[in-house]
Amino acid sequence: MSSEHTMKVAEDLYQAGFISYPRTETDCFSTRTDLHTIVREQEDHPVWGSYVQRLLDPGTRLWRNPSSGGHDDKAHPPIHPTKYSAGESRWSQDHHRLYELVVRHFLACVSQPAVGAETVVEIDIAGEQFSASGRVILAKNYLDVYCFESWGSSMIPAYVHGQQVCHLLQNHMGSLVLHFFFSYLDDGLWLFHNLCVCLMGNIFFVKLPKAI
């Protein structure tokens, strides 16, 4: 949608009472705003209602008061849903999409941030350089509801202590089968050790550094 059309749709939703005033740059909620009540209104939604139930459950520790931004026009709060809807018959597809964006963004604002780790491995085998990197999501948190963001496609599995993993790599010299064992340390570091590389019938032992 163009910015002009988006604002027109937002004005429609505002005039009908479904979202707050859209022409604002305020990015911090007043301490007087009852955020829990706003969230609770979405509890029965067929799509994100289950996430709302988790968010309101103190046992999940998913709730987080939103961060305060640097803008406050003193007249309007940040854009947020003001009335529940599972979809109105008179809405266009764009009305549905924009309402969903506002709700999901608001729920993300009161959720814990996502937590992840990145692992980078560099290997020197008989003068040949190999490297691999990837991310491990430790806790998705707000990403469970805010589907408009992702951490890309370079994901690797979440490894556990003592697990043995085999990776098959292809290059111009043939197949490399990497067998490695590793431990997950309490301080959050990944320790790779005992890497055995089988290459063209020869076996090389490579010691890998710690990767955060």
Tell me the catalytic residues.
21
Structure tokens at 212: 């955060």
DSSP β-ladder status, 202-206 and 190-199? antiparallel
On the CB side of 63, CA atoms within 13 Å amount to: 13
What residues contact 92, with CB distance under 8 A and at least 6 apart?
Answer: 9
Least Cα distance to 197 among 121, 135, 136, 118 occurs for 121
Rounded Cα–Cα distance for residues 212 and 202 (Å):
30
Rounded Cα–Cα distance for residues 128 and 200 (Å):
13
Q: Are 196 and 205 in contact (CB under 8 A)?
A: yes
Rounded Cα–Cα distance for residues 141 and 189 (Å):
21
